[in-house]
Structure 1
């Protein structure tokens, strides 16, 4: 760290009544060693700051305290503005896990469910808003179906297919199946909510990651990095996390089911939320992007690179498919049990 950066950090921590002894950068956070212990100094873009601090305050007021605390300066500010940046100070957590890596994910999903439970509320949603959402997504996905069909026809007209085209044609029926399933679930959601006037919203973390869930010295887990928090459907926390987690080689993704079980045990989705969740989870948007990129390019493609990317997106789709089908089986079993239950 250069002298200029050290001087800036020294000046910042002095606003908290601390004397800097040493500082080191760890990822996007500065670990600062002071006369009163170790702290984490975080920088963020200033225009995100007001919303971020307001949501943190709101969570505390609603009784949710599993957030790494933010310390005030000596004059009561919870963030320091310098140019286009905001800086805030937190305790440094060593993140010593009590048990296995698997347990951390289960703890994270249970705590996420608690965050959503504490902050859940019903919001008014007009028929027009639901209709507009359905039409926008259904139209987009159906256009993408048509685009893939054209790419298939284009590939099959070739005397000799490229390696990418050959792999695409081999897995096309599975991609198309994922698209059809997602669109059908979206239609089911549209039909079942046609007369609904409300929906559930929560305070979402906004950047859910196991790196943003830290343990203190007692093994208690806390969320950090609420810089993209906001009010939205709980689905908005789950989908990006799962999408990243599925980027592995194909496997029986039973631990993904265990994560969701830990979440749904404390914050079960309504039937309508589950339909929409399954729809978005199942739709193979990432694989479509790679295929579209290949066929839309007017320049000579890097064949090896794009084949590798297509293969990885296919693996992601298969991992997603495994979890979707397990959830679908459960939902169908619930329907069957409700149908067979004797009426009073």
Structure 2
């Protein structure tokens, strides 16, 4: 549904505001009013507004680095209009005082504070852990078998396609990443065999530097909590790293600095780090593009598939660098914590 200036003017009237003019930025309307500039955010109504509950809970816990959501004059925090919900926030100019690296450090420090203030332990039975382990292991082992079958199928052809040749060239490293992920998952299963609880937090749900804004004083605030939920903290870290590492090969020391900032304020337990490394290292995206290639008929875009595989391989290698460095830090930490034998 397209909303006109008259629609926006009518919506902000619920907040006691009079509109001068409006600018559209995606799903956000920058509204100039008689009382200053505001951000009116649109979201799909069928997604619900559970995020408001999480935002209020964080405020009650003392976490105030969230762009505030203003109530309408009648007390509503969101207004239904057609199939959309609208909520109002102050407009932050997002003037960065430092460079990109500093902004990411600020983001990860605030994410750690958010997780620290919302952390709680939830009961997890031995059966639940075992089911998760067995299902994930079975899925990843099936991927391994399928990838090997695709290699054998490629090697039986007289002339490999460019995709097949590239895939067979990368296969040993892809299989190594699969084995590493499975080994870490096994270590997690062994480390948690007697555990009856697990830590959960309120996750942002769509962590991005675009959703971390600075005010006029240079303080950083999270916005866009619409996908927030109660979950393991790794559900905030993994998607962010997945996007960040999707570049050409490079040493991602800056990503390690961001994670170091996070872990200084919200250190993972041993079993949490094992599970984090397992999921981070797992090359599931590569399996999906390989499977799609071999299940597509002859009429397929070879160049497109080759480009996809090449970029996913680069991402796997970037991830490998981060995983190796994190595992090395964990090893050194564990050695320092282990008392010397007599």
- Band of TM-score, shorter chain: over 0.9
Q: State yes or no: 1:60 paired with 2:74.
A: no
What's the offset of the Cα at 1:178? 0.2
Residue 204 (str. 1) matches residue 190 (str. 2)? no
Q: 1:164 corresponds to which residue?
A: 163
Partner residue of 1:303? Answer: 302
- Cα deviation, 1:38-76, whole Å, max 9, x if unaligned, reads 100001122333311111111111111100001111111
| Distance (whole Å) between structure 2 residues aligned to residue 50 and residue 10 of structure 1 | 22
Worse-superposed segment, 213-222 or 50-59: 50-59
Map 1:68-217 onto structure 2 (within 5 A): 68-217=67-216
- TM-score normalised per structure 1: 0.97
User: Matches of 2:198 and 2:70 in 1, distance apart?
Assistant: 35
- Aligned pairs for 1:247-326 within 5 A: 247-326=246-325
Once residues 17 and 86 of structure 1 are traced to their aligned partners in structure 2, the CA distance between those partners, rounded to angstroms, is 18
Residue in structure 2 matched with residue 43 of structure 1 by the alignment? 42
How far the C-alpha of 1:4 sits from its partner, in A, is 5.6
8 Å CA contact retained: 2:27, 2:43: no
User: Per-residue deviation at 1:158?
Assistant: 1.1
CA distance in 2 between partners of 1:136 and 1:313 (Å): 25
Shift of 1:332: 1.6
The structure-2 alpha-carbon separation of the partners of 1:174 and 1:16, relative to structure 1 and needing over 3 Å to count, comes to same
3-state SS of 2:4 partner: helix
Instruction: Report SS of the residue matched to 2:48.
Output: helix
Residue equivalent to 1:33: 32
The unaligned stretches of length 5 or more in structure 1 are none
Task: Name the SS for the 2:202 alignment partner.
Answer: strand
Structure 2 counterpart SS, 1:65: coil
Query: How much is the aligned-residue C-alpha RMSD, in angstroms?
Result: 1.4
Alignment deviations for residues 253-302 of structure 1 (CA, whole Å, 9 cap, x no partner): 10110010010000000000000000000000111111111111124221
Which residue is equivalent to 1:342?
340
- The alignment of Structure 1 onto Structure 2 pairs a total of residues equal to 342
Q: Hey, what's the Cα distance between the residues in 1 that align with 2:48 and 2:37? A: 23
Structure 1 Cα separation of the partners of residues 273 and 164 of structure 2: 35
How far apart, in 2, do the equivalents of 1:245 and 1:99 lie? 19
Q: Which digits, 9 at most, give the CA deviation of each residue in 1:291-340, with x for residues without a partner?
A: 1111111242211111011000000000000000001111122233334x
Offset of residue 343 of structure 1: 6.5
- The 3-state SS of whatever aligns with 1:265 is helix
Is 1:231 aligned to residue 257 of structure 2? no
Q: CA deviation at 1:3?
A: 9.8
Distance 2:131 2:225 in 1: 30
Shift in alpha-carbon separation, 1:62–1:3, aligned structure 2, 3 A: closer
| CA deviations over 1:224-279 (Å, ceiling 9, x no partner) | 00000000000000000000001100001101100100100000000000000000
Paired residues of 2:181 and 2:281 also in contact (CA < 8 A) = yes
Aligned to 1:21: 20
1:82 offset after TM fit, Å?
1.6
